[in-house]
Structure 1
């Protein structure tokens, strides 16, 4: 969910060159609609031949899907950088990291979460759904609940719902200007702490509503992560 732009016109190692091309694609797809960006545009922006873009990413749609993936997927390094302190410190750091990333790449992130220009595309929907599953598992690690096996699906469902709130709230800040960053931070940290400290303990203790049966479609749509 974070990419850096490397200087142009330098001989780079393959991974660095791929990252440079991807960074340029992230920026262009954030500034324009899918239809208005070509692999030639990306190559020109990156200072490479168009064939090199195809070599690393395939066709234009494959490149776009990778842009969406990198913008919406929580990387493992984000977990590694969390403080080792108490829950509140980790929640605060997690929310701060999220807000830092979405504000740094605001146009590209907004374009990715709304899949601008590709509405209803099944491949885009798949990438977004996969990102939700990765986020659910990594958020459970962040709040120290990755080992809770018996109620795993309920917990993952709650975290996915929280992820939807985080996305919507960030859009209220970045897109509509209805909230400030401080207000978004307060809302997201308070909500996540409430879920972890008050709601989840009731679910684990069996005090909440009976666990519903999962619809057949939900059981087959995506395999559980981890």
Structure 2
């Protein structure tokens, strides 16, 4: 009888993978406990590792938050909501509600960090960099659909509307899908008006 083949050793996650796991753990911690609950120990508990490993990868909470924000932007924009609203024929607004629900933890993390900038000045540049990324995503959505570049005021208005709808959904989490859907319909019409205004010849 041939000798049994020894089991293969479990693959150990690489350096980048381990950092990514810790970032995702930090996002979950903040989504569940708020920014005040974020620490090397709470992230370690969530990730199932020692807090020394978290310190090894991220010496400070600011560095961890910075990497989390850099991770969030591309994840959040896998489906650019502005591009979806500009789609012709119209993208189903119900799917935009699903888009919020799929990434609720990411959005809560963002809001917690944004509020924390009021009393933690070192976080402000990180939040501003994130916001500039969202502004760029609005402009790129207009370019993708061969529309005139939106005015800065319209970029701000569109982002504020989407942020408000997302905040409403992740905060109340009640059965308000139809209300949010109707609001996205209204936002689509408002964007169309903004497009018409931005494309109108000046007098």
Per the normalisation by structure 2, the TM-score is: 0.71
Deviations 1:156-182 (A, max 9, x none): 431232111212222223324677123
Once the two structures are TM-superposed, the CA of residue 31 in structure 1 deviates from its matched residue by 1.9
Partner of 1:45: 46
The aligned residue for residue 153 of structure 2 is 157
Deviation string for 1:101-156 (max 9, x for gaps)?
343x2xx53243143555332333322222222122223333445766xx6461x4
Distance 1:117 1:202, change over 3 A: closer
Q: How does 1:159-198 map to 2 (within 5 A)?
A: 159-176=155-172, 180-195=176-191, 197-198=192-193
Structure with greater Cα Rg: 2
State the number of aligned residues: 189
Q: CA RMSD in A?
A: 3.5
Which has the larger share of helix? 2
Gaps spanning 5+ residues in structure 2: where? 1-9
Moved more, 176-185 or 29-38: 176-185
Structure 1 unaligned runs (5+)?
1-8, 209-226
> Equivalents in 2 of 1:86, 1:65: separation in Å?
32
Report the equivalent of 1:141. 140
Deviation at 1:78, TM superposition (A): 3.2
1:153/1:137 CA distance change after superposition, 3 Å = same
TM-score (norm 1): 0.65
